[in-house]
Amino acid sequence: MQKKWKPLKGPQTDALKSKADILFYGGAAGGGKTDLLIGAAHTQHTRSIIFRREYPQLRAIIDRTMELLCEQGKYNKSSLVWALEDGRNIEFGAVQHIGDERKYQGRPHDLKAFDELTHFTEMQFRTLCGWLRSADANQRCRVIATGNPPTDSEGEWIIRFFAPWLDKTYPHPAKPKELRWFTTLEGKDKEVENGKSFRFKGELIVPKSRTFIPAHVEDNPYYMESGYKSTLQALPEPLRSKLLYGDFGVDREDNPYQLIPTEWLEQAILRYETRNTQATLSCIGVDVARGGNDKTVLTLRYENWFEVQRVYPGSSTRTGDVVAQLVLAARGTSHCKVHVDVIGVGSSVFDSLRRIMGNSVIAMNSAQASDAKDKSGQLGFVNKRAEWWWYLRETLDPASGNGVALPNDRELLSDLAAPRWRLTVRGIQVEAKDSIIRRIGRSPDKGDSLVYANAIEQVAGSGFLDYYGGMVE
């Protein structure tokens, strides 16, 4: 008898062992993606189906199963089913035309496997996942999909489906292998905290877990020995990065109205290493939590270098005095400015800090009118909020040469990439905080705090020169 298939060390093993209901094992070419599907069917499942979008594309997978399984069962060429001696079945399927997925209706399998997921439509995938069940209560049911990063907009749905891992602007980014729970309510996917079932409009909803595990060609010794890597290296961009590194970010475009391009943010993150150690603390931005679920975030800016942010849960920063103490501790002996958000609870923090630190504490009221102009001197702003956010955009613009450096924090990155803007007759307008919250599902506290730390504000009643003149305490 032939030996059983064993996973390669590293991500292929992690993928096989993953507890996720829906796993996407994706990325670089040659990382052992297709083999994982065959291996999982062969070692962990009793009734499996492996899909490709088109029948001819199944050829290579079927050939590989011939190598692996020929002594362990029989393959029926017309029904495309392996019947293995140990009772397992492995079937192959394709859904070339839209609607073909209905052919598989009511056909239960405990493993639904999709090779090259980017070729399938979202509807096909969701429909085919529908009949995931087993008559045996002890048999685990799961979906495994594999694929290279999408090369066209057709595959964009995968970035949305696995957004916590693949969408750089997702508000709660996840690490590879991490399980995240999702439900589909009223046709929309929603991330929920855990796998506990709950009632929604009378219906019992059971969340399903998803994860993403990146595949790398380096993890496949069979391919590394064959020099396959150099073949990938010779490809033109962006194919090279997509297939060699499985880079899902290459060539994906920002929303045209995104205020700060993701590319600029990434460049600022790359500059983080080179901190100017002579730089002094210039400003602390304070965004105060509005409720228990929000965060209070302190951003320390050393000239053009932003320190990793200090984050405190809203529940532990309920009073102005508590936040004021945190700010005092962060400021130490420095004489830096402190920019405090004063809307709502922030005003009591401002009062506390003003009492202690005097005029170096500046109230940031984003609703206030702005009389500033953009760098070109042509455009005004609807309010202070737009002015400060635009000013951050200008400082991050690689053309400005400011060399601003940001810490590598994906939540901060997604906060800063979140707002959209538009031009109105009153000037530049930046998307309202409430609208961002609706879109990203949380308050962009880290982004706001950083915007405050970056802003240049005058102390009320003093001239612009006073600001640069140093302390007015």
Which residue spans within 240-332 are E strands per DSSP? Answer: 281-287, 295-302, 305-306, 310-313
**Number of shown-chain residues binding ligand ATP (CB under 6 A):** 18
User: Which positions from 399 to 438 touch Mg ion by CB under 5 A, shown as an x/- string?
Assistant: ----------------------------------------
Question: Would you say 50 or 440 has its CB closer to ligand ATP?
Answer: 50
Amino acid code (one letter) for 210 = R
d(CA 64, CA 327): 62
- Minimum distance from CB of 114 to Mg ion (Å)? 11
Question: Would you say 220 or 370 has its CB closer to ligand ATP?
Answer: 220
Residue 354 binds which one of Mg ion, ligand ATP, none, with CB within 5 to 8 A depending on kind? none
DSSP letter at 5 equals: P
The verdict on 222 binding ligand ATP (CB under 6 A) reads yes
Altogether, the residues listed in the chain come to a count of 473
The verdict on 12 binding Mg ion (CB under 5 A) reads no
H-run or E-run covering 261:
none
The verdict on 29 binding ligand ATP (CB under 6 A) reads yes
> DSSP readout, 107-174?
--BSEEEESSGGGS-HHHHHHHHTTB--SSTTS--EEEEEEPPPSSGGGHHHHHHTHHHH-TT-SS--
- Minimum distance from CB of 34 to Mg ion (Å)? 3
Q: Tell me which residues in 251-270 interact with Mg ion (CB under 5 A).
A: none
Residue 149 binds which one of ligand ATP, Mg ion, none, with CB within 5 to 8 A depending on kind? none
The verdict on 34 binding ligand ATP (CB under 6 A) reads yes
Question: Would you say 113 or 345 has its CB closer to Mg ion?
Answer: 113
Q: Tell me which residues in 97-156 interact with ligand ATP (CB under 6 A).
A: 148
User: Long-range CB contacts (< 8 A, 24+ apart) of 204-209?
Assistant: 207/181, 207/182, 207/183, 208/21, 208/22, 208/181, 208/182, 208/183, 209/19, 209/20, 209/21, 209/22, 209/179, 209/180, 209/181, 209/182
Binding-site member from 24, 82, 162, 223 for ligand ATP (CB under 6 A): 223
Residue 31 binds which one of Mg ion, ligand ATP, none, with CB within 5 to 8 A depending on kind? ligand ATP
Collapse the DSSP code of 385 into the 3-class scheme (helix H, G, I; strand E, B; otherwise coil) and give the result.
helix
Q: Tell me which residues in 359-378 interact with ligand ATP (CB under 6 A).
A: none
- Minimum distance from CB of 215 to Mg ion (Å)? 9
Q: Which of the stretches 184-192, 215-223, 233-241, 375-383 binds ligand ATP when contact is defined by CB under 6 A? A: 215-223
The verdict on 30 binding ligand ATP (CB under 6 A) reads yes
Q: Is the peptide bond before 176 cis (omega within 30 degrees of 0)?
A: no
Start-to-end Cα distance in the chain: 85
Question: Would you say 39 or 444 has its CB closer to ligand ATP?
Answer: 39
Binding-site member from 18, 34, 209, 258 for Mg ion (CB under 5 A): 34
- Minimum distance from CB of 247 to Mg ion (Å)? 17
Amino acid code (one letter) for 472 = V
Using CA atoms of 266, 269, 274, 280 in order, give the dihedral in degrees to the nearest 10: 130
- Minimum distance from CB of 220 to ligand ATP (Å)? 5
The verdict on 33 binding ligand ATP (CB under 6 A) reads yes
- Regarding beta strands 89-94 and 111-114, do their DSSP bridges make them parallel or antiparallel, or are they unpaired? unpaired
Question: Would you say 22 or 215 has its CB closer to ligand ATP?
Answer: 215
Which of 10, 33, 8, 31 has the alpha carbon at shortest distance from 23? 33
Q: Tell me which residues in 430-469 interact with ligand ATP (CB under 6 A).
A: none
Burial classification of residue 309, based on how many CB atoms lie within 10 Å of its CB (0-12 exposed, 13-18 middle, 19 or more buried): buried
Collapse the DSSP code of 248 into the 3-class scheme (helix H, G, I; strand E, B; otherwise coil) and give the result.
coil
Residue 30 binds which one of ligand ATP, Mg ion, none, with CB within 5 to 8 A depending on kind? ligand ATP
Q: Which of the stretches 217-225, 292-300, 398-406, 420-428 binds ligand ATP when contact is defined by CB under 6 A? A: 217-225
- The radius of gyration computed from the CA coordinates of the chain, to the nearest angstrom, equals 27
The verdict on 198 binding ligand ATP (CB under 6 A) reads no
> DSSP readout, 333-377?
T---EEEEE-STTHHHHHHHHHHHHGGGEEEE-TTS------TTS
Question: Would you say 116 or 287 has its CB closer to Mg ion?
Answer: 116
Residue 198 binds which one of ligand ATP, Mg ion, none, with CB within 5 to 8 A depending on kind? none
The verdict on 8 binding ligand ATP (CB under 6 A) reads yes
User: What residues line the site for ligand ATP (CB under 6 A)?
Assistant: 6-8, 12, 29-35, 39, 64, 148, 215, 220, 222-223
User: What residues line the site for Mg ion (CB under 5 A)?
Assistant: 33-34
